[in-house]
Structure 1
Amino acid sequence: MHTSLLLLADGRFPSGGHAHSGGLEAAVVRERVRDLDDLREFLRGRLRTAGLVTAAFTAAACARPEDMELLEAELAARTPSPALRLAARRQGRSLCRAALAIWPGEYVARADRLRVSQPVALGIAAHAAGLRAEEAAQIAAYHAISGPASAAVRLLGLDPYRVHALLADLGAECDEVAHEAATSARGPASDLPAASAPLLDVSAEDHASWEVRLFAS
């Protein structure tokens, strides 16, 4: 297995992801997620909506880094929540800074200057690391569920062993989403998935208004 893939998939990679719950904090506070079963449904829903979109744009950016500005515009059109757009760009900036230190190059530097969102930045970093588009999509799909899963341990006090068993159970579904995302990335940017998750958008705006919160999003 390509070591760069392991690096980018590692939750310790300094991309700022540890500061974000992927919408889970709002779901927990509003009591939409209360236990492991609720978490399973939250992760599955997130994977099939925001996860699919993220993975597709990551794969497209990996395959066509020269199109990053177009991809950024298409992704923004699929992200109605200003709070989510801001969070994605902050994560993208952190990811670009890390990528510049590890895999410096023209596209990474350009992505940093443009302050692209996290999915586009991840694709650019994956390209710089020598990964294929489908590998980039796998990383993005995995991040879509692993970040909120880690947050659930802190927010709900869940058993980390059971949470990771849940992630393992979702592995095949994660691979399916990554494959679908990578396949869609072969077409034009305008045809990339636009799977919506209105409750995630609404929750993000709710969460952004809180004076006290554990996670940035």
Structure 2
Amino acid sequence: MSRAALLVLADGRFPAGGHAHSGGAEAAVKAGRIRDARDLAAFCQGRLHTTGLTAAALAAAAARGVDPLELDDAADARTPSPALRATARRLGRQLMRAARATWPGEELDALATARPRGAHQPVVLGLTARSAGLTPEDAAHCAVYETVSAPATAAVRLLSLDPFEATAVLARLAPELDQVAGRAARAAYGSVDALPAASAPLLDIMAEGHAAWPVRLFAS
């Protein structure tokens, strides 16, 4: 296991395309649901305990060696919004390109062949972590961090929010990130059907509306 590999994978500069996505923050800002750092904290906390938990469990299961195709089907079932399913597969395809260049492996190649249009991003993330020699809990930590870091980064651009305030939001959420990642990693040792399926219906609704905007700063 390499802690340095974990840092590389979790680095926002890793070329996986995440910088173009707001994690729902752009639609929330336009709707007036995120106006300041306090609103951002509440938004990130909500994402963490719903879609974040679900994504982290899928990633941890993939890192454990569970069949990624079965997990990809499970991710589809846990993502009711067509817009978010398309986003997850697009991000999965982008992450796959970076992963195969960075930590090449037969399992990544096999998934890329089976899902040429992209597998769900959390599944690819978990398989990438596995290829990098990381643990299921490492994969879960990457997933939960991405869940909150995308909106926080986007809020800086969308609201001209002080970057120090946005970073402080993430720092204050750190204990909850650890708790959710641990819960997800433990769930990864059960059956696929028993993996968390927490959802945030308002995020799904906003994602569908955002996908139809003629002009937007972020892809999702």
Q: Aligned AA for 1:75?
A: A
Q: What is the TM-score with the length of structure 1 in the denominator?
A: 0.98
Aligned partners of 2:28 and 2:138: how far apart in 1?
A: 30
SS at match of 2:29: helix
Aligned partners of 1:112 and 1:147: how far apart in 2?
A: 25
| 1:59 Cα deviation after fit | 0.2
Counterpart in the other structure of 1:44 = 45
Counterpart in the other structure of 1:124 = 127
Q: Aligned AA for 1:54?
A: A
Contact 1:95 1:121 in 2 (8 A): yes
Counterpart in the other structure of 1:146 = 149
Aligned partners of 1:171 and 1:110: how far apart in 2?
A: 35
What pairs with 1:39-118 in structure 2 (closer than 5 Å)? 39-65=40-66, 67-113=67-113, 114=115, 115-118=118-121
Q: Aligned AA for 1:68?
A: P
Aligned partners of 1:33 and 1:100: how far apart in 2?
A: 36
Aligned partners of 1:14 and 1:118: how far apart in 2?
A: 13
| 1:112 Cα deviation after fit | 1.9
- How many residue pairs end up in the alignment? 216
Aligned partners of 1:111 and 1:9: how far apart in 2?
A: 21
Residue 172 of structure 1 pairs with residue 213 of structure 2 = no
SS at match of 1:170: helix
| 1:104 Cα deviation after fit | 0.8
Q: What is the TM-score with the length of structure 2 in the denominator?
A: 0.97
| 1:56 Cα deviation after fit | 0.4
Residue 205 of structure 1 pairs with residue 208 of structure 2 = yes
| 1:32 Cα deviation after fit | 1.1
Contact 1:111 1:124 in 2 (8 A): no
CA root-mean-square deviation: 0.8
Aligned partners of 1:111 and 1:139: how far apart in 2?
A: 20
Provide structure 1 residue ranges, at least 5 long, that are not aligned to the other structure.
none
| 1:63 Cα deviation after fit | 0.4
Counterpart in the other structure of 1:34 = 35
Counterpart in the other structure of 1:25 = 26
Aligned partners of 2:169 and 2:31: how far apart in 1?
A: 22
Contact 1:4 1:129 in 2 (8 A): yes
Q: Aligned AA for 1:48?
A: H
Aligned partners of 2:111 and 2:86: how far apart in 1?
A: 16
What pairs with 1:183-194 in structure 2 (closer than 5 Å)? 183-194=186-197
| 1:111 Cα deviation after fit | 2.2
Aligned partners of 2:171 and 2:112: how far apart in 1?
A: 33
SS at match of 1:131: coil
CA deviations on 1:81-130 (whole Å, 9 max, x unpaired) are 00000000000001000011111111111222212110000001000000
Counterpart in the other structure of 1:181 = 184
Aligned partners of 1:35 and 1:68: how far apart in 2?
A: 39
Runs of 4+ that moved beyond 4 A: none
CA deviations on 1:181-208 (whole Å, 9 max, x unpaired) are 0000100100000101000000000000
Aligned partners of 2:62 and 2:200: how far apart in 1?
A: 22
Q: Aligned AA for 1:62?
A: A
Contact 1:62 1:136 in 2 (8 A): yes
| 1:60 Cα deviation after fit | 0.3
